[in-house]
Amino acid sequence: MYSFCLPPAHTPCASVNTISEALHDGDSLNGKEQKIVVIDLVNFLVVALFFSLLVFTLESYSQQSRWRLAKETAGNPIAAVDIYRRDPDTLYAIGSKILRSADRGQHWDTVNAWGTDVGALKVDPTNSQILYLSRFGFTIQGNDVSTSTDGGYNWSPVFIGRIFPAPVIEIDPVDPKTVYVGAGPSYILRTTDRGQTWDTTTYPGGNYFTSLAIDPANDSVLYAGYYTGIFKSTDKGRSWIELALGVQIDNATHLGVDPNNTNIVYAGIFGRGVYKSTDGGGKWVQKNNGLGVGDQAIKVLTINPKNSNDIFMGLSSDSGSIIFRSIDGGDRWFAFSDGLPSLHSSISALVVDTVNNRIYAGGVGIYILDSLTTSAPVEAETELTPLRRTVRMVKLGGKDNCGYGSTAIYKGIEDRSCPRGRVWVTIG
């Protein structure tokens, strides 16, 4: 004799020896009905196997999706993290000091005692010794921008003491000699020779510069995010137009351009959530499915370069998830914070290592997720949910009024025994 149980726990077990176990004395089935019951019992076994595989899948997902803290970074409030793309074992970060790892974040060494709680850091994609740094800063007036050519040990200032921070650094994805940096509160500087000389782009018109995104297929196209709006240039910053989002922007804006379809642009706006454009910023649609009101304090937005439907957001939260993820281009978001702190926490940096399929997050310490899965988590069912469906039941007995009729079906599983609850089988 074999026994089978369906999850959830309150679902009765089916003890299957012979078909007659499901029948009362004196009841009988015709040939057609016997065939239906046998087929349904086979389907029952298939459903039981499915649930077993589902539980295994959920356990595997949980194990693969748990963040872990890089121990040498504990307690260090991280403002920025970046990867050297030619050798992603090499990473740099800045928080209360400048850090470097040469082994995928397993160990971190202090490179320089400089620190910041608001800042940006980028590594030249062709030379890991060339770094660009924005920090809040040398003086109390505001942000400072500096460059290093020896891996962060020594720095040369670009400017010192701008009023109000503008923690923005972006390296041109087409021409890495060209770099844009924020000069607080609202201006954008540019170098075309890796920091030897600098000039100023035309002022876009917004207040408090917070992000810059460069079209990876056409580096003449720039998107600049401000507290007061989003602006677009098609001539490398010589002229700008303001984009109409459809709602008033009154806080920090974080931008990203889809590397596989550069007409797609994302804007994560602190306090308002996510907006998406599929025509280069002409029209925007809000994409907050899965985000609550308390899940919109966005501090960073990152697109997976290898799979551009895979998007990550870092948030500030007093009591909830601090990272959300979408695997369908922003259509649905889900919490992605297993292993991260949840009380009075925030994430200011997110960077994806596409070679080793992992991701780094900067909060109070650097967190590492060692393997990115490609599916959203599935919540296990704890209740059998009735479906709106009517079926003709097989007559198994008449002593307690069991017979033909309509009944609730639970996830495609139905009670076909008399009295009810002795045998559950799939229907379809």
Q: What is the CATH number of the domain that holds 237?
A: 2.130.10.10
Q: Which residue from 395, 394, 396 is spatially nearest to 25, judged by alpha carbons?
A: 396
- Cα dihedral angle (351, 355, 357, 361), rounded to 10 degrees? -20
- 206 and 316 part of one domain: yes
Each residue's pLDDT expressed in tens, for the chain with a length of 428 residues: 433 333 343 334 444 343 334 334 444 445 554 444 444 544 545 445 544 544 444 344 434 469 999 989 999 999 999 999 999 999 999 999 999 999 999 999 999 998 888 899 999 999 999 999 999 865 665 678 999 999 999 999 998 877 788 999 999 999 999 999 999 889 999 999 999 999 999 999 999 999 999 999 999 999 999 999 999 999 999 999 999 998 889 899 999 999 999 999 999 999 899 999 999 999 999 999 999 887 789 999 999 999 999 999 999 988 889 999 999 999 999 999 999 998 889 999 999 999 999 999 999 999 999 988 766 665 433 333 333 333 333 333 333 344 434 343 333 444 444 444 444 444 44
Tell if the pTM clears 0.85, that is, is over it. Answer: no
Q: Which residue from 193, 197, 189, 148 is spatially nearest to 166, judged by alpha carbons?
A: 189
The predicted pLDDT at position 45 comes to 53
The predicted pLDDT at position 305 comes to 94
d(CA 357, CA 424): 43
- 188 and 288 part of one domain: yes
- 409 and 333 part of one domain: no
Identify whether 356 is part of a domain. Answer: yes
Please give the sequence-ordered ranges of beta strands (E in DSSP) within 6-70, or none if there are none.
13-16, 68-69
- 407 and 259 part of one domain: no
Identify whether 374 is part of a domain. Answer: no
The predicted pLDDT at position 153 comes to 96
Residues near 28 by beta carbon (within 8 Å), at least 6 away in sequence: none
The predicted pLDDT at position 134 comes to 93
- 325 and 416 part of one domain: no
Q: Report how many domains make up the chain.
A: 2
Identify whether 332 is part of a domain. Answer: yes
- 138 and 153 part of one domain: yes
Identify whether 317 is part of a domain. Answer: yes
Measured on CA atoms in the order 259, 261, 262, 264, is the torsion positive or negative?
negative
Please give the sequence-ordered ranges of beta strands (E in DSSP) within 106-186, or none if there are none.
109-112, 119-123, 131-136, 143-148, 156-159, 169-171, 179-183
The predicted pLDDT at position 342 comes to 84
Domain extent at residue 34: 2-63+381-426
- 331 and 349 part of one domain: yes
The predicted pLDDT at position 377 comes to 63
Identify whether 52 is part of a domain. Answer: yes
Identify whether 375 is part of a domain. Answer: no
| Residue reference for tokens 């065939």 | 35
- 137 and 266 part of one domain: yes
- 80 and 131 part of one domain: yes
- 398 and 283 part of one domain: no
* H or E element in which residue 49 lies: helix 31-64
- 30 and 81 part of one domain: no
The predicted pLDDT at position 426 comes to 43
Identify whether 403 is part of a domain. Answer: yes
d(CA 286, CA 251): 16
Residues near 14 by beta carbon (within 8 Å), at least 6 away in sequence: 3, 4, 5, 41, 44, 422, 423, 424, 425
- 58 and 107 part of one domain: no
